[in-house]
């Protein structure tokens, strides 16, 4: 997608310490042998080291605790030596601190994305609801392949924000460029009226616990399931979502 003439500013969303810590904790539970590198990745996210190079069209890590001062990140690659030497592999895929940092950021942002989608623009009542929560709630476009937003209540039609795709965890960004566009929007979006970030605050890693805790707080089955799904993104899904080599298999499963 194009971000030319993007109306939402040039500041990326900075996840809170709690968002990053909770997300990292889940990763560390799954990969106890990688705890130290996940800790370092957490620090990178919190320090704002991840940025997006609009000219190159890729994510970069500008300050690094590794030898490289500036690395370029794609969905399946990093330019640092650690990654090239395949010093850490998880489920057969090479990883490095920068790539893990990008995954942590992705997970936080994807959770926000799912919490903000409130309907489809083709349904009048849902569109009006989103317009009354302008710059706060998102709508799927009619074909469901993107999300759109009313920047203010006076906008007649919502503007496309970023392309989306369906992953095993639910709605996800189609590409890391779409994740960038969403991050720009989120940085200045109105906060949600109620604290929908409760699932991120959960201390349990058990999906059933998260689901039940959401239900107890009065969320619908659908909302609770979406939030629970958002908690279980793993490195395999990351590759299936963003690595073109896996997209066919991923699309078959979604079909
Ligand atoms: Zn790296």
Q: Which residues contact 108 (CB under 8 A, 6 or more apart)?
A: 15, 19, 20, 23, 45, 200
How many angstroms does the Cα of residue 98 sit away from the middle of ligand 1? 4
How many angstroms does the Cα of residue 135 sit away from the middle of ligand 1? 35
Residue 63 · residue 47 · CB < 8 Å: yes
How many angstroms does the Cα of residue 162 sit away from the middle of ligand 1? 26
How many angstroms does the Cα of residue 65 sit away from the middle of ligand 1? 10
How many angstroms does the Cα of residue 101 sit away from the middle of ligand 1? 9
How many angstroms does the Cα of residue 78 sit away from the middle of ligand 1? 5
Could you give the 3-state DSSP secondary structure of residue 58? Answer: strand
How many angstroms does the Cα of residue 174 sit away from the middle of ligand 1? 22
How many angstroms does the Cα of residue 83 sit away from the middle of ligand 1? 5
How many angstroms does the Cα of residue 163 sit away from the middle of ligand 1? 26
Amino acid 29: pLDDT: 87
CA distance 184 to 133: 18
From first to last of the 255 residues of the chain, give the pLDDT tens digit.
Answer: 444 444 455 799 999 998 999 899 988 888 888 899 999 999 999 999 999 988 888 899 886 555 456 788 877 789 888 899 998 888 788 899 999 999 999 999 998 999 899 899 999 999 999 999 999 999 999 999 999 999 999 999 999 999 999 887 789 999 999 999 999 999 999 988 655 444 444 445 566 777 777 677 666 777 667 666 655 445 555 555 555 454 444 444 444
How many angstroms does the Cα of residue 222 sit away from the middle of ligand 1? 37
Amino acid 230: pLDDT: 55
How many angstroms does the Cα of residue 107 sit away from the middle of ligand 1? 18
Domain map of the chain by residue range?
17-106
Residue 50 · residue 44 · CB < 8 Å: yes
How many angstroms does the Cα of residue 56 sit away from the middle of ligand 1? 17
Cα separation of the two ends of the chain: 23
How many angstroms does the Cα of residue 77 sit away from the middle of ligand 1? 8
Amino acid 55: pLDDT: 85
- Joined tokens for residue 162: 């970023």
Amino acid 170: pLDDT: 81
CA distance 149 to 130: 8
DSSP assigned state of 61: E
How many angstroms does the Cα of residue 211 sit away from the middle of ligand 1? 34
Amino acid 246: pLDDT: 47
How many angstroms does the Cα of residue 63 sit away from the middle of ligand 1? 11
Q: Give whole-number Cα distances, 190 to 90, 136, 196, 208, 227, in Å.
A: 37, 5, 13, 30, 20
């Amino acid at each position: 997608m194009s971000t030319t003439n993007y109306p939402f500013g040039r500041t990326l969303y900075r996840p809170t310490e709690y968002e990053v810590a909770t997300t990292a904790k889940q990763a560390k539970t799954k990969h106890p042998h990688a705890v130290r590198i996940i800790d370092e990745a957490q620090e990178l996210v919190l320090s704002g080291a991840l940025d997006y190079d609009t000219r190159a069209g890729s994510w970069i890590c500008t300050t690094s605790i590794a030898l490289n001062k500036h690395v370029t990140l794609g969905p399946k690659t990093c330019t640092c030596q650690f990654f090239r030497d395949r010093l850490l592999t998880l489920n057969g895929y090479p990883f490095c601190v920068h790539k893990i940092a990008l995954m942590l950021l992705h997970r936080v942002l994807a959770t926000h994305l799912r919490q903000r989608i409130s309907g489809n623009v083709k349904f009048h009542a849902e569109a009006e609801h989103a317009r009354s929560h302008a710059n706060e709630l998102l709508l799927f476009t009619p074909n469901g392949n993107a999300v759109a937003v009313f920047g203010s209540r006076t906008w007649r039609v919502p503007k496309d924000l970023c392309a989306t795709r369906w992953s095993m965890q639910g709605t996800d960004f189609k590409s890391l460029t779409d994740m960038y566009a969403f991050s720009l929007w989120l940085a200045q979006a109105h906060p949600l009226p109620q604290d929908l970030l409760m699932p991120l605050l959960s201390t349990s890693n058990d999906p059933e616990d998260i689901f039940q805790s959401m239900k107890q707080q009065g969320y619908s089955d659908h909302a609770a399931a979406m939030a629970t799904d958002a908690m279980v993104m793993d490195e395999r899904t990351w590759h299936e979502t963003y690595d073109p080599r896996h997209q066919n298999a991923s699309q078959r499963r979604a079909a």
